[in-house]
Structure 1
Amino acid sequence: MEIAAAVVAVVGTVLGAGVVGVQQYFAVRAQRRQALRDRAMTALGDLSTALADHRRTMWTREDLRLSGAAPAEVAAAREASHVTRSAITAPQVALTVLLPQLRLDIEATVRAAYGMRGAMNAEVLASRREEAVSAAEALTAAAARVLSRP
C-alpha cells in the first residue's frame, strides 16, 4: 500500500507540474501575441499619421506648383514634403516586419501617397489624393482583420 500511495503521489506531482507548465506556456504565448499586437497597432497608427501628413503636404506642394505659385513657395512646400516622406519610412518598415502578410497592402498604400507627385492638373491631383486615402483605409481594414484573429 505504501508503494501505491507513493506512486500516486509521484504521478500526481508530475501531472500537476505538467498542467502548470502548459498553463505557463499558453500564458507566455498570449503575452507575446498581445505585445506583437500592441506594437503593430502603434506602427499602424504611426504610419497612418505619417501618410496623412504626407498627403496634406503633397496636396499643398502640387497645388502651389499647378497654380503657378512663386518658386520660393514651391521650394518650401517641396522641402516640407521631403520631411513628411522621410517620416513614413520607420513606421512602414516596422509594420512590414510586424505584419509581413500585409507587405503588399503597405507598399500599395505608400505608393499611392507618393503618387500624388507630378499630377498634370487639379482634377488628377484630387483623384490621386482620393486613391491614396482609399488605399490607407484598405490597409487599416486589412490590419484590423489580421489583428482581430485569435
Structure 2
Amino acid sequence: MKKTDLKKKLTTMQYEVTQCNGTEPPFQNEYWDATDEGIYVDIISGKPLFSSKDKYDAGCGWPSFTKPIEAAEITEHKDSSHGMVRTEVRSKTADAHLGHVFPDGPEPTKLRYCINSAALRFIAKENLEEEGYGEYKALFDKP
C-alpha cells in the first residue's frame, strides 16, 4: 500500500508508529491493559500476530507477549537508535514497525514482545469466524 493511501487509512498515531518507527505513550494506549480473549492482527495487512493467551502484564505500559502466533509474520532487525541496542520487530507482509523484543520475559520463552497498540487491531474470540480468522478459534478451546 502506498504511503499516501496509508495516511488516509491510518490515524496519525498508527501512521507514526508503523511507518516512522514511532512509539506511543506508555499506559495511554488502547491495549496495554486489555484482558479480553482474542487475537491481535497487523493494523495494515490484517495478518495474525499475537494471541491474548500469550499476553501478560510486564508493567511497561504497552501490550507484552511471550511469542507471536505466526512467527513467520514477524521479522527482527537491529535497532541502535536512542543510544541503545535493541531488537526491533516488524510485520513481514506490511513491513510495519510493531515494537521491540527483549530477553527479559517469563518462562518458557523468556521473551517480551513489547508492541505498540497503534500497530494492532484486536479481534475478539467470539468474532474470529465472522472476521475471517476462524482457524484461530482452537487457541481458545477448553481441553
TM bucket by the smaller chain?
under 0.3
Q: Which has the larger radius of gyration?
A: 1
TM-score for the superposition, normalised by structure 2: 0.22
